Amino acid sequence: MTEEQSLSCDILVVGGGGAGLAAAIEARTHGAKVMLIEKSPELGGTTAWSIGSFSATQTPHQLSEGIVDTPDEHFEDMPKFAGPQADRDNPKLRRIFVDNANDTLRWLMSMGVEFFGPMPEPPHRKPRMHNVLPNSRAYIHHLGKHAQKIGVEIRCNSRANKFLMENGRVVGARCEMPRGITPVHAKAVVLASGDYAANRALKAKYISPEVSLVDAMNPNATGDGHEMAFPLGAKVLNGDVLSGPTLRFIPPPRKSIDRMLPPWPIVTKFMRFALKYLPDRLLRPFVLGFTTTSMAPELDLFTHGALLVNKNGERIIAEPAKLGLVIASEPDKIGYVILDRDSAARYSKWPNFIATAPGVSYAYLDDFQKTRPDIFSKADTVAMLAGALDMPPDVLKTAVEEHNEDCEYKIFAPPFYALGPAKSYVVLTDGGLAVDEDHRLLGENDTPVPGVYAAGSAGQGGLMLKGHGHHIGWAFTSGRRAGRNAAREAGINMI
């Protein structure tokens, strides 16, 4: 590549997902000249792949429903999702998150983002989960538009690959841009480059060689920012923590209409109205018909009667949390979830759902039957179910018999159901670069590296974000703060 003339700005933001857009808008709002670079042809990142839930307390939604809740209670409840990993959390960053999540949600709303909720999600003691409407692309649509309006210079197809340094200070980044390699000089840089779910080497190093072979949901999540930061002495915290390898039902054959629904106010207002007032039987098929892309079966299914088989009908045995990993070495890396009448009945109403879902928050068996006929099968006998799935009937029958010998919840009452194919994916990795409470990147001896901040997944700093709605909340909350702090360090007169 040829070397282009250099460019300059006050704040360079690397990455155009949720954290990067939030950082760019805040820095620009505070008076900085901001350039945001995104390596893909369009903004979005994993943020645009997500379901889009956002958990927070004291929001307009909670208040309008009379829910009395506090950041303190949120702070106490978050570790309950992490189980034995709870003590590996970064409580200082968790405090920052819970104290600022409400303000961030309102800030997003001020830019036109609409939410439905709050929905319950135990062990949260109060309903805190807010779901973006009509889908997660709304974040990118509204923030991208706002960033452009206020004068953030957005350059897609532009990839940062190395920091520019001067006297131990980061002063920009070397970027691969459409016209060639371009040094972009900046007074400070915000790294908002996402996670490393699609980086085999980092997955092998921090997690395991087996996991490194599992595909990522977002193939662009290649941990570039992490690799850029290593020469500065940066380190990854909780590098082995991840979401996945997770079973996810394959996407619908057509492009999901949900992904295409425009986030216009008229659409989101109608959805909000419909979600609140339409009877469930009319609403669910409508909303879910559009929103079942990449939904994940809850692991709880497998402790309460569901059986997982491979494409040949053979039983896949592993503790539920390991099923995603094990399936990656099965033929075509796919599996089918088998249920009988009783387990189907169990997963037909709250609190036993098959998967979380955009819009309606939870999807039950009936929702799959109505809206995903491509992954739903039902038959009066196990042999007939095998026929519908193109599996040898005796193999599936053996799998069911073995399951019934071992498990408390049997598969014996017709009709029998199958959901699938489900594939295995690494959804995201939680190993973030170490940062301080101002989101400054920490280098050698845990000392902040002057001129560089990290936010979102890149700057997760050991924070445990288990449960739903915490990753997105962190991406926007930390992005805003990092953008603001970077502008301050750059000596911008804060407006």
Ligand X SMILES: Cc1cc2nc3c(=O)[nH]c(=O)nc-3n(C[C@H](O)[C@H](O)[C@H](O)COP(=O)(O)OP(=O)(O)OC[C@H]3O[C@@H](n4cnc5c(N)ncnc54)[C@H](O)[C@@H]3O)c2cc1C
Site residues (CB under 6 A) for ligand X? 14-20, 37-40, 44-47, 49-53, 159-160, 192-194, 217-218, 220-221, 224-225, 294, 427-428, 456-458, 468-473, 475
Of the pair 37, 396, the CB lying nearest ligand X is at: 37
| Closest distance to ligand X from the beta carbon of 356 (Å) | 7
Q: Which residues are CB-contacts of 455 (< 8 A; sequence separation ≥ 6)?
A: 19, 20, 22, 23, 190, 191, 192, 439, 475, 478, 479, 481, 482, 483
Token pair 């979005």 is found at 44
Cβ atoms 23, 479 nearer than 8 A = yes
Tell me how far, at minimum, the Cβ of 108 lies from ligand X, in Å.
13
Q: How far is the CB of 217 from ligand X (least distance, A)?
A: 4
Q: Quick one: 9 or 472, whose CB is closer to ligand X?
A: 472
Question: Of 38 and 366, which CB lies nearer to ligand X in the complex structure?
Answer: 38
Q: Report the nearest approach of ligand X to the CB of residue 174 (Å).
A: 10
DSSP state of 217: S
Q: Which CB sits closer to ligand X, 338 or 472?
A: 472
Least Å distance between CB 206 and ligand X? 16
Q: Which is nearer to ligand X, 133 or 427 (CB)?
A: 427
Considering beta carbons, is residue 45 or 420 the nearer one to ligand X? 45
| Type and span of the H or E element at 266 | helix 265-277
Torsion on CA atoms 6, 11, 15, 21, rounded to nearest 10? -140
Q: How far is the CB of 14 from ligand X (least distance, A)?
A: 5
As given in the structure block, the two tokens for residue 312 are 């040949």
Closer of 271 and 307 to ligand X (Cβ): 271
Least separation in angstroms between CB 156 and ligand X: 9
**Least distance between ligand X and beta carbon 489 (Å):** 20
| Beta carbon nearer to ligand X, 338 or 454 | 454
DSSP 408: S
Output helix, strand, coil percentages for the chain, rounded to the nearest 5: 40, 25, 40
SS3 letters across 97-165: HHHHHHHHHHHHHHCCCEEEEEECCCCCCCCCEEEEECCCHHHHHHHHHHHHHHCCEEECCCEEEEEEE
Q: Which of 416, 218, 234, 228 is nearest to 313 (CA)?
A: 416
How big is the chain, counted in residues?
Answer: 495
* Integer Cα distance of 355 and 361 in angstroms: 9
